[in-house]
Structure 1
């Protein structure tokens, strides 16, 4: 996991390293408390193994920052933030399976199926997905039921066939094909990656009582940074080492996947990611200083090394 000292300074006076020093431990503690060991021991151990394996925790932190951006108390969004990480973890467990990307390492550790077997890994992902929605419904306090329901509906859509699942399907169907268009590639990543980024930002705002106009702006911001995140991922798959990534490098090339560097080249891919982040930050202008954490996190998307 990238240390706070490794983060690139943003052009604002906002101290992202200090912000993450506060937010990351709060998220980690909340995640640890969210799922305790229980019977059957194996499934709870497998769920906790991947959920607590570290990582940048970008999605939960974006959720908390979005809640703040529209004047909400981030503590109200903490159960949602945990649920987002549970769902993200589910997607990683399933993505690493032999039937998908077939990877042995994630976040510098053996992948879930390498430790617990394919069967338990599938069930661990299923368990995390189901529990994520239960956790939002039962643990969110001080927020009206209509807001909680609206946020749950948004998140469910982001995970299903209209979001993450749909993007993954098109991604799998595109492997090994030489005629994948940039439009198809953008579709894949707006759904496979961008949908959960968007839900992270939008759900935090919904719980805080954001207006329809505010939600629309934040959704566009999140779509931009989600796509930028994936472009940088594609670049890092080529330019970074396995040790830096915490997972196997060069998997996209090996699987003959369509990627942004493959279609655009490295320089243009970097340019497009920077452009997306610049546009995203412009969208946040009307939120003022309350959006400084989101602004800084947008910069981090393109400055990160893993």
Structure 2
């Protein structure tokens, strides 16, 4: 990364391994990271903006979304070799750019007001609020621009853009529900929680999974496989957020890599707060079981997705 300011350069770290996941599941991360670095390296942007984008993208994230896109592509192809998901790289990169944009903006003082992300200063602390806003805007735009640049098949491009737009819209709606309410009247607290999280977290995870599969399939091909991927994604999206809520009340900041307990302090709805810890953990188990059942018809090629789901159910950071 060229000419990064000292406060950015010293904080850059490669994506961390996702803990309990077997190494062969993590093999695609090197290709994903190289792909993202290539995208950023070619940007004709001001140096400080390019460096801010790099800081946000190379900040120790688990890369779960591009990893899931990769293995969803592999699952619908029926292949189990390490290159089975390589066609998913543009989709995975686009989703990761949107995810990084969302984290940068979520951390801003007007939103969640966080000064720590993945164990290091958030982007607006490391640079400025103005740069964080602009870097987030640039990453959101870059996600769509990159798809338009590298996807040649018009129908595939339309499908990918539609999925990413739906995932991004859901994520934004979820953040509104989480911070500014706007619910339809008459919803229970658990219904409100579900509405928040199937949008805020689940929508982009669903986009990652479906986009990875779409990269491997022709637009009208293998609809049952795409349906299986969709059900799997819906379940792990909600499960991911329930586990996040559990981490928020059970793990110290130095382990979680971010402030913990802040949702309860802010009076936000959380699954442990609404359902209690035991029932929250039961929901995780139920969603995991349903996710695994959904992808079982895809056979051995879906085993990496099963292992990712099992990891997500027990992660502690």
Please indicate, yes or no, whether the TM-score normalized by the shorter chain is above 0.5.
yes
8 Å Cα contact 1:86-1:129 kept in structure 2: yes
Q: Which residues of structure 1 form unaligned runs of 5+? A: 9-15
Query: 1:240–1:249: 8 Å Cα contact kept in structure 2?
Result: yes
Aligned partner of 2:196 in structure 1 is 188
C-alpha deviation, 1:251, in angstroms? 1.1
Deviations 1:154-178 (A, max 9, x none): 1111102xx0111111111249xxx
Give the equivalent residue in structure 2 for 1:31: 36
Give the direction of change, closer, same or farther, for the CA distance of 1:2–1:116 in structure 2 (3 Å limit): closer
Whether the 8 Å contact between 1:86 and 1:132 is mirrored in structure 2 is yes
Query: TM-score normalised to the size of structure 1?
Result: 0.90
Residue pairs, 1:190-269, within 5 angstroms: 190-209=198-217, 210-269=221-280
Residues 1:166 and 2:179 are matched in the alignment: no
Contact 2:16 2:60 in 1 (8 A): no
Deviation at 1:99, TM superposition (A): 0.6
Matched, 1:130 2:137: no
- Three-state SS of the structure 1 residue aligned to 2:289 is helix
Q: Does 1:70 align with 2:81?
A: no
Task: Measure, in 2, the Cα distance between the counterparts of 1:148 and 1:294.
Answer: 24
1:187 to 1:219, Cα distance in 2 relative to 1, 3 A: same
Deviation at 1:38, TM superposition (A): 4.7
Shift of 1:139: 2.3
Q: Distance in 2 between matches of 1:81 and 1:158?
A: 13
The answer to whether 1:90 aligns with 2:98 is no
What displacement does 1:180 show?
Answer: 5.8
CA contact (8 A) 1:68 1:290 kept: yes
Q: 1:180 to 1:49 in 2, by over 3 A?
A: farther
Deviation at 1:222, TM superposition (A): 0.2
Give the secondary-structure state (helix, strand or coil) at the position aligned to 1:70: helix
> 1:147 aligned to 2:160?
no
User: What is the DSSP-based 3-state SS (H/G/I as helix, E as strand, rest coil) of the residue aligned with 2:62?
Assistant: coil
Q: CA–CA distance in 1 between the matches of 2:131 and 2:144? A: 20
* Rounded Cα–Cα distance in structure 1 between residues aligned with 2:148 and 2:212: 14
List gaps (5 residues or longer) in structure 2.
1-14
Between the aligned partners of 1:104 and 1:77, the Cα distance in structure 2 is 33
Q: Kindly tell me the number of residue pairs found equivalent between the two proteins.
A: 290
Question: Relative to structure 1, is the Cα distance of residues 254 and 58 closer, same or farther in structure 2, using a 3 angstrom cutoff?
Answer: same
Q: Is 1:80–1:140's contact at 8 Å kept on the other side of the alignment?
A: no
Q: Is the contact made by 1:174 and 1:257 (CA closer than 8 Å) also made in structure 2?
A: no
How far apart in 2 are the matches of 1:53 and 1:153?
Answer: 28
Measured after TM superposition, the shift of residue 2 of structure 1 is: 5.7
